[in-house]
Amino acid sequence: MASQDWFDKDFYKVLGVSKDVTEPDLKKSYRKLARKYHPDSTQGDPAAEAKFKEISEAYAVLSDKTQREEYDQIRAMGSGARFQAPGSGGGGFEDVFSRFGRGGGGAQQADFDDLFAMFGEQGGGRFGSGRFGQTSGGFRGFGGPQRGADVSARTTLDFQTAVRGETITLAGEDGKPFKVKIPAGVADGQKIRLRGRGRPSPDGGETGDIVVTVTVRPHPVFTRDGLNLRVTVPVTFTEAALGATIEVPTLGGDPVKLRVAPGTPSGRVLRVKGRGVVSSKGTGDLLAEVQVAVPAHLDDRAREALERFHELEPKENPRADLMSKARE
């Protein structure tokens, strides 16, 4: 920047602050304007780009304590002053501007790092380096190729497909089919990302992704519990009381036999190892929850038999603990 610019440009006005602005308020105002006029937000608007450079230039001076003092002193002289080349009898004001336009940027690295972080960058070079707007270098990422947009898609799977995994075919936005590998154990609501299968970048950058949201239809018998499968298994009163060996269904396979111990109550869970979801994360189990089925219809003989059993059964009150605990 030429030295005369310090007379011609009102950096306080550019940033919309007063001359006695504090450092925190100065930074706050700068960051607000930088967000508004940043090229990533204005998409190639030349006027916004020029404004952004002007804002950055102003902040580079006012955020530096020494330069701000020099700027205030020179501005106090009035805009009528002019500078002469060394040796022409003029004052030594050239030294004041020696850091501008002669190899240094004058910007405080920490403050610009904040700006880069605000837009997703990690550090970077300084403004005024002559590389403004390039895809790499002084201001990394500014003006660089944009990533293509992601494309959203949805699919509904039956329960067994979601558990076992499968490669399916979906129709893209352009009507063309594309394949999606469904991993074993995919859950309802889970998203599958297909890298580089989305919309292309408008200027040669990275292609976007396809993001597929999965909906899983409920199963009439099985439910998911992480990698485990759950199933409710009804047993008769006599099976639960006397014990029995019963068959339990498995998902897409042959049933397995389970031993119900005598006196098994409703709600007890019997485990079948390794018959749950088989995935890259591990293998789950089949959890069979026993539910005692009470007969809804009894003939006379069955009723008489139960009445005789009632006379002979132990005189235990299964609700005794419940009543005592309720009084606590």
For 288-313, write each residue's pLDDT tens digit.
Answer: 999 999 888 889 998 998 889 888 88
Cα gap 207→195, rounded to integer Å:
8
Sort 150 into a burial class: Cβ within 10 Å, 0-12 / 13-18 / 19+: middle
Cβ pair 220, 163 in contact under 8 A: no
CA geometry: angle at 189 spanning 185 and 191, to 5°?
75
The pairing of strands 151-157 and 210-216 is: parallel
> What pLDDT score was predicted for residue 40?
67
Q: What percent of the chain has pLDDT over 70?
A: 76
Among 95-99, 196-200, 253-257, which is the least confidently predicted range? 95-99
Cβ pair 285, 231 in contact under 8 A: no
Q: What is the DSSP letter of 113?
A: H
Cα gap 186→156, rounded to integer Å:
12
E runs forming strands in the chain? 151-157, 166-171, 177-182, 191-194, 210-216, 222-225, 228-236, 244-250, 253-260, 269-272, 278-279, 282-283, 286-293
Average pLDDT, the chain: 78
Residue whose entry in the numeric block shows the structure tokens 């009528």: 80
Tell me the pLDDT tens digit for each residue of 198-237. Answer: 888 888 889 999 999 999 999 999 999 999 999 999 999 9
The residue-averaged pLDDT of 243-258 equals 92
> What pLDDT score was predicted for residue 283?
94
Please choose, from the candidates 177, 178, 162, the residue with its C-alpha nearest in 3D space to the C-alpha of residue 215: 162
Is residue 3 predicted with pLDDT exceeding 80?
no
For 279, other C-beta atoms within 10 Å of its C-beta total 16
> What pLDDT score was predicted for residue 134?
33
HEC secondary structure over 290-307: EEEECCCCCCHHHHHHHH
Is residue 129 predicted with pLDDT exceeding 60?
no
> What pLDDT score was predicted for residue 78?
56
